[in-house]
Amino acid sequence: MSDLGLLLRKAREQRGYTLDDIQEATKIRKRYLEAIEQGDYKVLPGSFYVRAFVKTYAETVGLDAEEVLRLYHKELPKPAAPETAAPENVIKPKSRSVQHNDRWGKLAVTLLMWLFPLLILVVVYIYVVQNLPSKAGKADPETPITTDTASPSLSPSPSSTPTITAPPASSPANSPSPEPVTLTETRKSGSTTYYDVGPAGAHTLKVVSTGSWVGVQENSRKGKYLYQGTPDNTLTFPLNGPIYVNLGNAKNAVVSIDDVVVDDGDVSGSRKFVFTPVEGTAGANEANGETVTQP
């Protein structure tokens, strides 16, 4: 096993990840991950993929990818120089493009020559139509508008009927506004951050992922899984009790409580959270094998 592979393997085991977890989070095949840990880079499809896979692996287990590549650059194969294209392949498409443009240019000139007379005819037609004497102007001005001589009705119009307006209802502005959601950080343990969610009442946990592996469990990492995988839509969970959230790559995921975004540092690597609603209950939360008693 190479020094680089040993470093990645220790970081993975310290975080409690298996190769299947890394495969799910990074979408890199398990046999490639095993080859990286063993230092057998011939199994990978090319030298370019070696550096890309090592960088992604390092970020997922919480290491500084650039520092890892710099320290172990001698172990990694160098990427092959790109092949230069033959000059003939550049010259031929250029000449075809010039011929193609000339043909379209001639066609455009021909169309303009035919459309210009038609445009003149359309303008003349519009001018003539607008200046023709209207039939209304030829009508006899002495023609009476109406022959109805009946006197107007003296009955009151419906609009004169008095109306009674009911007193306005109480304004909804007088009703008390809901209390804002509060996220109180109680403590940190490694990469796990513990939050108390207030005020008491119903809350909703949302997770939006753009390529990060997500694990959601009841109470702690040892609790029942509510979801695990890489979602392609928004995950929503009712926050009725403590919930443990594990993000494979926090930079590609957003966690919020009732649309209040949780600060994850916007950094690459794994982040874990435990959210406990302050319902007046003193629950015991477990995370990473430890028990946390809420005040």
CA-to-CA separations, 145 to 133, 134, 176, 280, in angstroms, rounded = 22, 19, 64, 83
Of 81-90, 122-131, 200-209, the range with the lowest mean pLDDT is 81-90
pLDDT at residue 184, rounded to an integer: 93
Q: How far is 288 from 260, CA to CA, in rounded Å?
A: 26
Which position has the higher pLDDT, 261 or 4? Answer: 261
Which residues, 6+ apart, have CB-to-CB distance to 190 below 8 Å?
Answer: 272, 288
Residue 79 lies in a domain: no
Task: With beta carbons less than 8 A apart as the criterion, state whether 185 and 195 touch.
Answer: yes
* pLDDT band at 187; cut points 50, 70, 90: very high
| pLDDT at residue 170 greater than cutoff 80 | no
- Count Cα neighbours of 162 within 13 Å in the Cβ-side half-sphere: 1
Q: Who's near 193: CB < 8 A, 6+ residues apart?
A: 185, 271, 272, 273, 274
**Domain presence at residue 86:** no
The last residue of one of the domains, among 71, 98, 114, is: 71
Instruction: Establish if 240 belongs to a structural domain.
Output: yes
Please give the pLDDT value at position 1.
Answer: 67
Let me know if residue 238 belongs to a domain.
yes
Rounded Cα distance between 288 and 279, Å, is 24
Percentage above 70 pLDDT, the chain: 71
Out of 71, 93, 109, pick the residue that ends a domain.
71
27-47 residue pLDDT tens: 999 998 888 888 888 888 877
Q: What is the structure's pLDDT at 280?
A: 56
User: Which two structure tokens, joined as six digits, stand for 221?
Assistant: 């990492």
Average pLDDT, the chain: 75
Task: Return the beta strands (E) in the chain as ranges.
Answer: 182-189, 192-198, 204-209, 214-218, 225-229, 235-238, 243-247, 253-257, 260-261, 271-277, 284-287, 290-293
The pLDDT of residue 87: 41
Give mean pLDDT, residues 179-197. Answer: 89
Q: Which of 36, 55, 71 is the last residue of a domain?
A: 71
In a domain, 96, yes or no: no
pLDDT, residue 238, reads: 94
- What is the domain-level CATH number for residue 19? 1.10.260.40
Kindly report which listed range (107-116, 151-160, 198-207, 258-267) carries the lowest average pLDDT score: 151-160
Question: Does an H or E element contain 37, and which?
Answer: helix 30-38
Does residue 151 belong to any structural domain of this protein? no
pLDDT band at 210 (very low <50, low <70, confident <90, very high): confident
Chain segment 243-265, per-residue pLDDT in tens: 998 988 888 889 899 999 988 77
Which residue range(s) make up the domain with 284? 182-293
Is 94 a domain residue?
no
Each residue of 53-91: pLDDT tens digit?
A: 888 988 998 888 888 888 777 777 666 554 444 444 444
Residue 132 lies in a domain: no
Task: Look at the chain and report how many structural domains it folds into.
Answer: 2
pLDDT score for 56: 92
Q: Which residue has the higher pLDDT, 237 or 295?
A: 237
